[in-house]
Amino acid sequence: MSRTHMPVVEGWFTGEGDGFRLLGTRCSACASVFFPREDTHCRNPGCPGGELEEVPLSPRGRVWSYTDSQYRPPSPYVTDPELPWRPYALVAVELEAERLVVLGQAVPGVTVGDLAVGMEVEVVPGVLHEDAETVRTTWQWRPVRGRAV
């Protein structure tokens, strides 16, 4: 029996494998990009306001900064208190084309020791948490180094 895959937030990302992308919106009047998506009004105060269209964000960017979470975060972050806490890295990534910085978890196994400011990373699908019925999906950042080259 296959489990249900559910995104942690509806409408923030789409696709699978190499086609996985974060989803933002772009204002048709001023070209400002928003992530998390704005669906009602453009937030550029100098913009008369255009249509907000869904756009995929660049799949690759460069590390703006990074850190990790050595202690178990509180709810509503979902963890299994029965299991020992396993720290994960958090990466803030600058997307050149959109000129914005997006925070995300690093893929499992990547630690702060594997990261550097300016390093190229790519967005990939990941699992935030899962149980017998549901797999809760999210986006994660993975270093590009050593893959494509």
Partner 1 sequence: MTDDVAVLGVGLHPWGKWGRGFVEYGAVAARAALADAGLDWRQVGSIVGADTVRGGYPGYVAGATFAKALGWQGARVTSVYAACASGAQAIGAARAQILSGLADTVLVVGADAAPKGFFRPAGGSRPDDPDWLRFRVLGATNPTYFGLYARRRMALHGDTAVDFAQVKVKNSAMGALNPYARYRKRVTAEEVAGSPTVADPLRLLDICATSDGGAALVLSSTDFARRHGRAEAVRIRAVSTVTPRYPNTVLDLPDIATDSAVAVAPAAESFRASIARAAYEEAGVGPEDLSLAEVYDLSTALELQWYEDLGLCAEGEAAKLLREGATAPGGRIPVNASGGLASFGEAVPAQAIAQVCELTWQLRGSAGDRQIPGARVGIATNQGLFGHGSAVLAVR
Which parts of this chain interact with partner 1 (CB under 8 A)? 8-9, 27, 30-36, 43-47, 64-71, 73-79, 88, 90, 92, 97-105, 112, 116-118, 128, 138
Partner interacting with residue 124 (select from partner 1, Zn ion, none; CB below 5-8 Å by kind): none
Q: Which stretch binds Zn ion (CB under 5 A): 5-13, 40-48, 65-73, 124-132?
A: 40-48
Q: How many angstroms separate the CA atoms of 67 and 104, rounded? A: 11
Rule CB under 5 A: is residue 27 a binding residue for Zn ion? yes
Nearest CA-CA partner of 67 in 128, 120, 115, 125: 115
CB atoms inside a 10 Å sphere around CB 26: 21
Residues that bind Zn ion (CB under 5 A): 27, 29-30, 32, 42, 44, 47
